[in-house]
Structure 1
Amino acid sequence: MQVLKTGFHSWCAGQLAEGCKRCVQGRKLVLFITGLCGQRCFYCPVGEKKFGHDTVYANEWKLGHADDPKELLEEARLTEATGAGITGGDPLVKVERCCEYIRLLKREFGKDFHIHLYTPLRLVTEERLKALHDAGLDEIRFHPDLDDRTLWPRLDLAKRFDWTVGVEIPAVPGYARQIKEVIDFIAGKVSFINLNELELSDTAADHYKLDEMGFEPKDSASYGVKGSDVLGRRMLAYAQKKGLPAHFCTAKLKDLVQVKNRLKLRAESTALPFDVKTDEGTLLRGCVYLRGLEPGARTKERVAMVPEAERIRFLSELKARLADAGVPEEKIIIDVAHARLIIPRSVAQRERKLLRSHGVPALVEEYPTADALQVDVEFV
């Protein structure tokens, strides 16, 4: 078993876990099952709008109701997912929801739809693990506390079930001793360890401490923490010597491979006939926004203040005016959620004077995600 560089900006010793193989293809849906968690990891990147709140997301799509996860199934179809990774928060806070969703996904997409789950050890019991196993969970990844090994023996409970067991932890600079202790403890007990490059976060959650602890980005273009990549590769070599298959997952892999591939798959499913798809997985399109609801400060809040029925009425009237002015009706798409009409870029450029008299026209580059996160907006 050698330490080798992969073709997707990471290093591994031994075989990648099945969940990782599908992840790098962009075919793993990220299922954020709840923001509730009893753990307070100082490096947890989860944003304050999610952490501590019982909310569910399928990739970037917030589910309207946890007990009616229709958005989950639609997101899986749109991204051509062949599996899902369940995360949080701590999924075991809502273990019944986890089991329900696992059964739903397996029923909808077949037994080969690969599902893995991340959890700290705080709520691990044989009963909860059995429920997950019986529901059809394929792979479980534990996140042991690096500063307190009291609960580490709970890892042994997972070996009682027929599934893949792994450990996943960040490569925290200054924690070489603790990471070696984890590797020593799990070698021969689990199938693999994943070491993640530690990344800074913009979260305002109270327990997040990386900034005040003095951690810095490795360069101006990355959220990766200085020293984490060097430590990660050192620990990978240590795991290899212990005979433990290991993978060091970099920030670059997540951004340039995993997310990019997932975005490109979703773009293929959601792009309008006149949208331009980029190699980065973004969409180029023209838009006409309702006045006062164009992109800017607190856009989401401003849009939310206008009742949906009113937005539909205003946008329908705007579409009719543009159609009367000669814009082909089939090239005017109403987007109620973002208070805009979507049109070809060529129309936005050619008819900008006309469009300005009715709304706020713009050339937009955005992600093909449910939240339509914008990369660039140029008002015309």
Structure 2
Amino acid sequence: MLSEGCRLCHKGAKMVLFITGKCNKSCWYCPISYERKGKDNTYANDRPVKTPQDILDEARMMSALGTGVTGGEALLETERVVYCCRMLKKEFGKEHHIHLYTGTAPDEETLSKLTGLVDELRMHPPQELWKDIISTDYIKSAIKAKEMGFEVTFEVPSLPGLENLIPALPYLDHLNINELEWSETNAEAMRNMGYSLEDNYHNAVSGAKQWADKLISADSKVHWCSSAFKDSVQLRERLKRIAKNTARPFEEITEDGTVVYGFLTPESELPKDLDDSMYERFEDHIELSWWLLTDYPNDFPGEKKIIERYPNNGMIVEVTPVQ
């Protein structure tokens, strides 16, 4: 059975709050980008956070029903975590579900600071501790966290030796296994380990699913999260939520959550009967309904193209010239 946090992720309804890129561990498989790794910067989804209001604005923009707090190691900035979580709960209510990722095993003092603010604790015990997991502080922390009312999850990448985590299952509510992913920051380590990409379309590492199979079948608490799911379903649903709230009247929202519109560098004035809701004028160009450029090209002389991009002026996906 999925945790509430995972169910909301499936809907694309969780904002990702990246607290800091700082981390006191050096996991060879860490996929965090060079842009964020080791840097003490905060992001709400892909928005750099300059003020606390940026976090609230991003949550509203996607109609977030919850937040996933992550890093780096978020608990290196525990006070920042507490401040942000308290702000989110105050603004959106206790029902705004918050889960926190950490590579640490929080002690009672830290857990006390998070009580009432974090609903689900997701710990990542490093691979080298899996063989002796029962004797580690991660189990002690899991027991204490459950006593204090937290939902407790271990979340780990799919690596050899996952079956060593089976003894931990009685102490957990959930165990999430993320498909091992290839990234620019771990590519060299992946090659040194003899790993390769499963195909040319995804970041999944070949063999990662097989390492997880025994654990997946061991208990209903275990959940497999594939690279393809995170790249497609989860992201797509989040983009749809953002697009619904931010798309301009003339932008078309696609099934992937991107928006499509026309881009015109005009050679003359627009038709006089064109409704104001069908375009937006800029200093050197006009953005408008894309179908106007394809269905009535002679009415819009000038350089014409169709743009598909992430919503809210996000990354451009495709530019198609219109002849």
Band the TM-score falls in, shorter-chain normalisation: 0.7 to 0.9
Residue 306 (structure 2) aligns with: 363
1:373 has 2:315 as partner: yes
CA distance 1:117–1:148, shift in 2 (3 Å): same
Contact 2:270 2:300 in 1 (8 A): no
Q: Which runs of 5+ in 1 are unaligned?
A: 1-14, 290-317
Spell out the pairing of 1:261-300 with structure 2 (5 A cutoff).
261-287=237-263
Residue 233 (structure 2) aligns with: 257
1:137 has 2:124 as partner: no
Residue 2 (structure 2) aligns with: 16
Q: Which runs of 5+ in 2 are unaligned?
A: none
Spell out the pairing of 1:89-238 with structure 2 (5 A cutoff).
89-121=72-104, 124-134=106-116, 136-148=117-129, 152-157=136-141, 158-172=145-159, 175-176=160-161, 179-184=162-167, 186-201=168-183, 203-204=184-185, 209-238=189-218
Contact 1:200 1:223 in 2 (8 A): yes
Find the aligned partners of 1:345 and 1:283 in 2 and give their Cα distance: 10
CA distance 1:183–1:275, shift in 2 (3 Å): same
Q: CA deviation at 1:30?
A: 1.0
Residue 11 (structure 1) aligns with: none
Contact 2:15 2:67 in 1 (8 A): yes
Contact 1:141 1:165 in 2 (8 A): yes
**Secondary structure at 2:171 match in 1:** coil
**Secondary structure at 1:74 match in 2:** helix
> RMSD value over aligned CA atoms?
2.8
Normalised to the residue count of structure 2, the TM-score between the two structures is 0.87
Find the aligned partners of 2:224 and 2:82 in 1 and give their Cα distance: 29
Q: CA deviation at 1:116?
A: 0.2
Contact 1:348 1:355 in 2 (8 A): no
**Secondary structure at 1:94 match in 2:** helix
Residue 87 (structure 1) aligns with: 70
Matching residue's letter, 2:7: K
Match of 2:36 among 44, 47, 50: 50
Contact 1:41 1:208 in 2 (8 A): no
Deviation sequence 1:210-261 (CA, Å, 0-9, x none) = 23323212122221111111222222123x2xxx611011122212321111
Find the aligned partners of 1:40 and 1:346 in 2 and give their Cα distance: 51
**Secondary structure at 1:147 match in 2:** helix
Residue 290 (structure 2) aligns with: 345
Deviation sequence 1:317-374 (CA, Å, 0-9, x none) = x9xx9767867655443689xx975322134452697444xxxx53111121x56112
Contact 2:215 2:222 in 1 (8 A): no
The number of aligned residues is 313
Contact 2:249 2:277 in 1 (8 A): no
Find the aligned partners of 1:322 and 1:128 in 2 and give their Cα distance: 65
- The answer to which of 280-289 and 53-62 deviates more is 280-289
Contact 1:142 1:155 in 2 (8 A): no
Matching residue's letter, 1:116: H
Normalised to the residue count of structure 1, the TM-score between the two structures is 0.74
CA distance 1:335–1:94, shift in 2 (3 Å): farther
Find the aligned partners of 1:217 and 1:33 in 2 and give their Cα distance: 30
Higher relative contact order (CA 8 A, sep 6+): 1
Identity of aligned residues (%): 32
CA distance 1:249–1:22, shift in 2 (3 Å): same
Residue 312 (structure 1) aligns with: none
Residue 280 (structure 2) aligns with: 333
Q: CA deviation at 1:69?
A: 1.9
Find the aligned partners of 2:40 and 2:285 in 1 and give their Cα distance: 30
Contact 1:43 1:210 in 2 (8 A): yes
Q: CA deviation at 1:182?
A: 2.6
Find the aligned partners of 1:37 and 1:208 in 2 and give their Cα distance: 20
Residue 61 (structure 1) aligns with: 47
Matching residue's letter, 2:152: V
